[in-house]
Amino acid sequence: MSPLRPLKLVAIWSLIPSYSLAGALIGYGLDRWWHTFPLMLAAGIIVGFALAIRDMLKLRDEMFGGKPPGGSG
């Protein structure tokens, strides 16, 4: 096991809170602008979470030897 593996795992898992927070801030700003609280806030958190999962799967494959990115199998 590589000595950097735990750091890579922390880097990958840190995507969830950072993307969710960014989505929440954007959603909050849209809510304040469009007066739709809490709809855009919830949508921003959900979109941020989904994008974090997508990027986590991409990084997992690149860092830990899964299928090559853009490969056809």
Query: What CA–CA distance (Å, rounded) separates 54 from 14?
Result: 13
pLDDT, tens only, 11-66: 888 999 999 999 999 999 999 999 999 999 999 999 999 999 999 999 888 887 76
Are 56 and 15 in contact, with CB atoms under 8 Å apart?
Answer: yes
Q: Where do the domains of the chain lie?
A: 11-62
Q: What is the pTM of this model?
A: 0.80
Could you tell me which residues come within 8 angstroms of residue 63 by beta carbon, excluding any fewer than 6 positions away? Answer: 8, 12
More confident residue, 55 or 2: 55
Q: What does the pLDDT read at residue 72? A: 59
pLDDT score for 40: 97
